[in-house]
Chain A
Amino acid sequence: MIATKTRDLEIALDAACERHKVPGASVAFYDGGNVTLAASGVTNVVTGVKATSETLMHVGSITKVMNATLAMQLVDEGALELERPVVHYLPDLQLGDAEATRTITVEQLLNHTSGIDANLLPDSGHDRETLANTIARFATAPQLHRPGHARSYCNAGTVLAGHLCRRVAGHNWYDLMKTRIFARLGLEHAAVLPEDALLYRTSVGHFLDPSSGRLSRSSHVFLPLGYAPAGSTNMMSASDLLTFALAHLDDGLAPNGSRLLSQKSAALMRLRSGPVHGGPETFDCGLGWVRVRNDFVQHGGGGPGIVSLVVIHPHSKTAAVVLTNAEHGLDLIVDVMRPFLTAQAGADPFTTQPQPLEDPKIDLTPYPGTYENNTVELDVALRDDALTLSARVKHQVYDSSLMDWTPPRKLLPAGDGWFVGDAPSALGALPYRFMDPDAAGRPRYLAQSLWLFGRRGRDES
């Protein structure tokens, strides 16, 4: 397959970088026959090094799809069974909840239904921030919900899945990623170890100060390294990430002709998986892949000052990758991807968000409370006949976290438990949804984006 660089795409990307104040971006599109690449801007506003199509950029949580692929390879080889409890393979597993320790299955780690509440833990410092130490720290992690009964985006499950692959395969996770994913796909601009990234032209994250419009380079290159299988370390070119996506688009067969995983497993990864009993869920997903509207599957990635997205549409044999080195890169991604995907698939994956109701007559009294997971607290209050929301990060994860409570922001009713905040975004106002009402009609959970936050004092559903 030959990759071409089209001037049109480059011009569009240059304009989008300019418009959205994104320092650097890299794009790789596949239209069913050809690969098109474009890169724009710089890798780092301090060094001013130009971003190229070979530049390694953070893929962040897109790593989770690769991690799930690793696990499914082991399923293909008969070394792992999705239905088995994790403790079967890791007899020394210890989570905060004894019942969860005993029952969480391999599948629940990959479909975000394990409920382990350890979204991120404070960085424990170099030489301590290892995968094994992170697993050990889960020994005190509470459950956000009972295993399998709800779906909330779960970093901890992914990390545990990575640890499981390591234990079952008997190699360290980084080596598994290099030998079983990168090498099989023939990737040449990919690094899963921070120290390997230095071999390449690499990008770092940036933050935009909304008041001054100034871009500042992140002070940290990676999220805590012990979360590597959830996506803290992985970097690659847009073109190499597209190669991975194409292997999934072709049911496990890589563009270089080697088999990444079985056809059956590739298909299974895109099929809906869990949760049981109709529990609350924030999104639809398979194993690794996130399922969105119009038959697209995708995964996004974040990190300190970065946003990335990969999207595939199996019916139309379309795939798209956009990597950016800006915290606010999502608007650019939507701008650049939407015309391409619409032209290819006749639709796009980007959801239009609920809109505020014109004349809401809604009883707001069930909603106030404190909703939380291990990293974030959301305080919902009723003030002057309106709901307000204030948020606080419980522990600092580098420069992106605010430890102070944000000023209360109005939540406008949008119907069916939905509310919208007033933060502007390309996708409309940031939506929130109150879910899973108890007998008294009070929601057990507040959902924001892919995460559930449990109401303090809720009963078991």
Chain B
Amino acid sequence: MNDNRLQRAVEEARERHRVPGVSVAFYADGAVSLACCGVTNVGSGVDMTADTIMHIGSITKLFNATLLMQLVDEGKVSLERPVVEYLPEFRVGDPEATRTVTVEQLVNHTSGIGGNLLPDAGHDEETIARTVSRFAGVPQIHAPGAARSYCNAGTVVAGFLCQRIEGKSWYDLVEDRIFRPLDMNHAAVLPEDALLHRASVGHFVDPVSGVPRRTTHAFLPLGFAPAGSTAMMSAQDLLTFVRAHMANGTGPNGTRLLSADSAARMRRTSGDVDGPVCFDGGIGWLLLGGDLVHHGGGGPGVLSWAVAHPESGTAAVVLTNADKGFAVAKDVMRPFFESRLGYAPFPPPKPAPETQFDPSLYVGDYENCSVIHTIEARDERLFWSAQAKAQFYDSSPLEKSAEKPLIPLGNDYFLTETPAGEPYATAVSIGFAAPGERGRMEYVIQNFRLHRRNDAR
């Protein structure tokens, strides 16, 4: 793609969605295309550049999984083994899960450990080791291996495991084993190192006025670093990492990051799951139809996304500094992938308003450790609202969200209707899974996660 055309497309998408700053790196036919625009921070007004480091959020989980697979390559850890073999002090709320959760289940999102996020314990307390010890009290959202639900906690335990096996801090491992070998010079995994670079912070776009407001917190709780609270980099450096995966473990600079076997294994479905699945997952990577692999990342007012099609050597990275940034990512990625593959990831959902459904099967409260989804029925329609259980800075008000009507998409999936007067709102997808007794749904699937029915509420 012509860089000027890409630059224009990125600028248009940024303005359309009122996102302060965007940085994009595309790769196709052996060539890298870069584009960026806007500002790093509406408060400081510093311009975005291609070297600006931005939050990659949960895309960090790919780095974390890569670290783990490096240790698998070196024979230091075995995916099939129970975690307690390596971490005798490992505890989750459920004793059976404590005994049986395997290393692989930590990184393919089938461990079922709750603890999506825990309240920030405050600086100096919020460490990876302490976060892992706080999991001792968290319940299971499902039995290990029985379902697939996006799991931050598992990733943190995996990062801690790497730290323990190597006897080095997780941050040093990411720097020494990934950033440095790949010559990623615009990347920081420690908050204090981010200040060496031109760095971006998150923003929240008001759904009505479209005015972006800078976040009050640059990071999610630091103890969740292996799940993605701290890592920042340029779009170009993230693309370098993605290219190493597409090239079966060899970086663009010729350095081997991990074995070809491990790189391939990370992209294959991992785990034999009988129960509800929120997505298809490999190790680290999330898998889409059409041989696309991807991972997204969020944080306080940030949204990032990396998508790759290894078979054709095509990849796209979009980093934004706004909560509504996914809209920008979809807009700029769609023509890129469609022109090369004939299809694009995350096609716009097609409402099927004529779908017949029995509202009573869906009505109820569904929750995980951080959010409660409430589904109510009126006049043969379903309505959704959500309430955070713990405050994560300005991104999650504790009040119940305004109720929104749901439009059926078919197959037990629904989409929130955007109310008139909210041009900058983003629609939320709500799925239902595991019909139980009398056909009532046991789980809500939202944001890649299972939320279990709780009739007691």
Contact = CB atoms under 8 A, between A and B. Distances in A.
A54 B191 CA distance: 21
Contact of B125 (A172, A219, A221): A172
A217 B123 contact: no
Nearest to B163: A127
Nearest to A226: B124
B196 A204 contact: yes
A125 interface: yes
B194 to A, nearest CB: 6
B198 A47 contact: yes
A126 B169 contact: yes
A433 to B, nearest CB: 36
Interface stretch (A192-200, A263-271, A380-388): A192-200
User: Which of A128, A198, A219 has the largest number of chain B CB atoms within 10 A?
Assistant: A198
Contacts of A197: 195
B197 A175 contact: no
Contact of B129 (A127, A199, A221, A225): A127
Given A131-B124, A195-B218, A221 B198 contact: no
A14 B92 CA distance: 59
Nearest to A200: B44
A252 B14 CA distance: 48
Contact of B197 (A47, A54, A125, A196): A47
Contact of B124 (A47, A54, A130): A130
A101 interface: no
Question: What interface size band does chain B fall in?
Answer: 35 or more
Interface residues on A, range: 20 to 34
Contact of A195 (B172, B196, B219): B219
A221 B195 contact: yes
Interface in A193-249: 193-202, 204, 217-222, 225
Contacts of B44: 54, 200-201
A44 to B, nearest CB: 7
A128 B171 CA distance: 12
Contact of A49 (B192, B198, B216): B198
Interface string B394-434: 00000000000000000000000000000000000000000
B314 interface: no
Contact of A172 (B122, B191, B195): B122
B123 A172 contact: yes
A128 B163 CA distance: 13
B201 A198 contact: yes
A217 B124 contact: no
A49 B43 CA distance: 14
A199 B192 contact: no
A413 to B, nearest CB: 44
A130 B214 CA distance: 28
B195 A204 contact: yes
A49 B197 CA distance: 10
B238 to A, nearest CB: 18
Contacts of A174: 122-124
A168 interface: no
Contacts of B215: 199
Which residue, of A131, A172, A221, has the highest number of chain B Cβ atoms within 10 A?
A221
A202 B195 contact: yes
A132 interface: yes
Contacts of B172: 125
B74 to A, nearest CB: 22
Nearest to A134: B124
A49 B41 CA distance: 13
Contacts of A47: 49, 51, 197-198
B222 A195 contact: yes
B41 A201 contact: yes
Interface in B171-203: 171-172, 190-199, 201
Contacts of A202: 195
Given A198-B201, A199-B218, A221 B193 contact: yes
Contacts of B193: 221
Contacts of B190: 126
Contacts of A201: 41, 43-44, 46
Contacts of A126: 169, 171, 190, 192
Contacts of A219: 196
Contacts of B41: 199-201
A59 to B, nearest CB: 14
B191 A194 contact: yes
A198 B123 contact: no
Nearest to A48: B198
A125 B219 contact: no
Contacts of B191: 194-195, 198
A193 B190 CA distance: 13
A204 B196 CA distance: 6
Contacts of B196: 44, 46, 204, 217-219, 221
Given A125-B172, A127-B171, A195-B123, 13 more contacts: A47-B49, A49-B46, A126-B169, A127-B129, A131-B124, A174-B123, A174-B124, A196-B218, A197-B195, A198-B191, A199-B201, A199-B216, A217-B196
Interface of A: 44, 46-47, 49, 54, 125-128, 130-132, 172, 174-175, 193-202, 204, 217-222, 225
Top 6 closest A-B pairs, CB basis?
A201-B44, A195-B191, A194-B192, A130-B124, A47-B198, A198-B218
9 contacts: A126-B169, A127-B170, A127-B171, A128-B169, A196-B217, A199-B43, A199-B216, A200-B41, A200-B44
